[in-house]
Structure formats: structure tokens, C-alpha cells
Amino acid sequence: MKRIFFVLSTLSLLGLLQWGVTTLLLDGPIRQGPYYYQILILAGINIVLAVSLNLTNGIAGQFSIGHAGFFAVGAYMAASVSYYAGPAIRGLVGFLPLAGQDAAVLLLALAAAALATALAGLLVGIPSLRLRGDYLAIVTLGFGEIIRVLILNIDAVGGARGFSGIPKLSNFFWVYLLVAAVIATVGNLLRSSYGRAFIAIRENEIAAQAMGIDVTRHKVLAFVISSMFAGMAGCLFGHYTMYLHTNSFTFVKSFEIIIMIAIGGLGSIEGAVLGAVLLTVLPEAFRGFESYRMIIYSLALILIMIYRPQGILGQASVLKRLGARMAARRSAQGNVPVTAPAADGGNGG
């Protein structure tokens, strides 16, 4: 209960802050440069994707390579809601000003996306998380591809033509609100007993099980949360670009997200953010030599993995904090009285 309050308060605080910054910024320089604005939006969406994937891949150590599939489910689900049910929703909340109606439609779409992807995550996760390592990678890859082919065959969402006519409802505010939400959620999870369970599972599943951790339940939880955020990112993506095509959701996109977290440092939130920003901004910087871009990317990825497998930032920050806390707690349990670090909701469970 305490944790929920904590999450909520963090969220609302961050949201408020974000809103303040946004209103200032939106009237400022960002409006003037639509090009930079677009990069900023895409960076935000990539941050959500990277941080959420990092929860499964980096923190819980379950290697999923189908994140683009969940991204797609969310994007198409949300787009269908606002495209087909949008007018009806507006009618229901007709008493609100236009901006309020927009928000209502978007929120409903967002909720639908979150629900659909959480469900999809549950469906894929429950059976496949019993498998381990490579097999999970394979199943998630297969799931991503199946989703793509299915969407390609659903005429109501445009099929191979793509889905056009999606209202432009998403903007800097919503995207960065989601960024704040995902960082707060994953960050809090990491500091909670869940986080310790995730890390225990990553480090040694058998030992984690022996310690009484319900391994499957925790894995599924991480997976579902992770997919849910990918779906919400999809919603905001579709409502920004106003057009969706399955080509944006191939496994290459999944690989891209993996590269982001691998470059930034598997398991580190800061790393995922950095990786996402780098991989959004760098292509723009290299726009002149498009054909070399992916070569440089992939080469950089290989070299980083060989020479600095912990990524640019590594897990040091997160693990160090955790290690310090555990050490403090251990000595606190002994007879030496040590002032434990300020309680942060991490003492539950």
C-alpha cells in the first residue's frame, strides 16, 4: 500500500513537473523547429521502449526479442479505438472543450493499448517463460513476426496499405509523461522486493527458486509490465505519425531496441535512456551518409560487446546502490547498529 502511494505521488509529481516544462517549452523554441520536435518525440518513444524492454532483458535476465510485436499491438489497438470509436467518445464527452475531448480519446486509446498488450504479454509470457534463455528469445521473435503477418492480413487496419487517418492526438506532453511513468515504475520496481527477486532470477534461477521466489510469477510480471509500456508507446507513436505500417514493426525494430539497451548497459535505466537517445539522434546526425549508418551501428555494437560488454554506463550505478543497501541491511541485522539508508518502499515483501 505504501508503495502504491509512493508510485502515485512520484508519478503525479513528475507529471506536474513535466506539464510545467512542456507548456513553457511548447510555446518556446520547440514549436518553431518541427524537425527537432519530431526527434524529441521519437526519442521519448524509444526511451519508453528501451526502458521497458530493459525490465525483461536487463533486469530480470529473460531475453526477449519480440518487443516490436507488443509495440505493434499497442499501436494498432489504440489507433483502431480512436479511428473507429473516436467520434462516439467525443460525443459522450461533448461538454468538454476540444482539448479535453482529445485527451479523453487518447486516454481511452492508451488504456485499450495497455490492456491489449498486457493481455498479449500474459498470453505469450505464461507458456513461454517456463522456457529459458534461447528458447524464450525464439518464441518472442516468432510472436513478433506472427503479429506482423496477422496485422498485414486485417483489412480493417489497412493491411498491407497501412493504417492512415489516425488523429494526431499525441504530443510532447503525453510522450514525456509516459517516459516519466516508465522510469518511475521500473525504478521503483527495481528498488522493491520485486526488483531483488528479478535480479536473483537473472543471476541464478535455481538459487532464486530455492530461496522461495516464485520464479514464473515474477518473470511473467516483468514481461507483462514491459509489454504494457511497449503497447502504450505504440499508442503514442501512432497518434503522432498518424500513419502505421507493419514495416515499422519488424524484428529489426526489436533488434534496434536491444541495441539501445546493450549499448547503454543491460540492466541500467540510465543506460537504456542514453542508448535510446543515442540511437534516435545519431541516425539524424548521420543522415548525410545513410548507407553507412547501419554499418557503423552494428560495428559499434559488436565492438562495445567485445570490449565493454557492460555497455557505456553498465549496471554499476544500480547494482552498487543495491549492493550498498544489502550490505547495510546485513550489518543492521547483526549487532552492529548501522543507520540504514532512508526507507524508500524497498523494505516490503
Partner 1 sequence: MESFLQQLINGISLGSIYALVALGYTMVYGVLRLINFAHGDVYMLGAYFGFYLSRILQGRTPYHLLDAALVMFLSMLGCAICGLLMERFAYRPVRRASRLTMLIIAIGLSLLIENAGQLIFGANPKFFPQLIPESHIKLGGLMLTNQQVIVLLTAVTLMILLNLFIYRSRTGKAMRAVSFNMDAAKLMGIDTDRIIALTFALGSALAAAGGILVSINIPGIDPLMGVMTGLKAFVAAVLGGIGNIFGAVLGGLILGLAEVMVAGYGSSTYRDAIAFLILIVILLFKPAGLLGKGAVEKV
Q: Which residues bind partner 1 (CB under 8 A)?
A: 61, 63, 65, 127-128, 130-135, 137-139, 141-143, 145-146, 149-150, 152-153, 160, 206, 251-252, 255, 258-259, 262, 266, 291-292, 294-295, 297-299, 301-302, 305-306, 309
Distance between CA atoms of residues 219 and 349, nearest Å: 17
Smallest separation, CB 314 to partner 1 (Å): 13
Smallest separation, CB 253 to partner 1 (Å): 12
Smallest separation, CB 2 to partner 1 (Å): 34
Smallest separation, CB 266 to partner 1 (Å): 7
Residue 153 or residue 164: which is nearer to partner 1 going by CB?
A: 153
Residue 139 or residue 182: which is nearer to partner 1 going by CB?
A: 139
Smallest separation, CB 191 to partner 1 (Å): 23
List Cα–Cα distances, 310 to 262, 280, 347, in angstroms. Answer: 8, 21, 28
| Ramachandran area for residue 38 (φ above 0: left; ψ -120 to 50: alpha; else beta) | alpha
Residue 26 or residue 301: which is nearer to partner 1 going by CB?
A: 301
Smallest separation, CB 263 to partner 1 (Å): 10
Distance between CA atoms of residues 240 and 117, nearest Å: 19
Residue 291 or residue 335: which is nearer to partner 1 going by CB?
A: 291
List Cα–Cα distances, 289 to 47, 267, 282, 296, in angstroms. Answer: 25, 32, 11, 10
Distance between CA atoms of residues 229 and 184, nearest Å: 12
Residue 6 or residue 76: which is nearer to partner 1 going by CB?
A: 76
DSSP state of 341: P
Question: How far does CA 143 lie from the centroid of its chain?
Answer: 18
Of 124, 106, 103, the closest CA to residue 114 belongs to 106
Distance between CA atoms of residues 215 and 209, nearest Å: 6
Question: How far does CA 50 lie from the centroid of its chain?
Answer: 5
Distance between CA atoms of residues 253 and 48, nearest Å: 14
Dihedral of CA atoms 278, 279, 283, 284 in degrees, nearest 10, equals: -50
Residue where the block lists cell 460525443: 91
Smallest separation, CB 294 to partner 1 (Å): 4
Residue 128 or residue 226: which is nearer to partner 1 going by CB?
A: 128
Residue 111 or residue 301: which is nearer to partner 1 going by CB?
A: 301
What's the per-residue H, E or C state across 62-102? CCCCCHHHHHHHHHHHHHHHHHHHHHHHHHHCCCCCHHHHH
Residue 302 or residue 338: which is nearer to partner 1 going by CB?
A: 302
Q: Which helix (H) or strand (E) holds 184?
A: helix 172-191
Residue 252 or residue 332: which is nearer to partner 1 going by CB?
A: 252
Smallest separation, CB 93 to partner 1 (Å): 39
Smallest separation, CB 301 to partner 1 (Å): 4
Distance between CA atoms of residues 63 and 138, nearest Å: 9
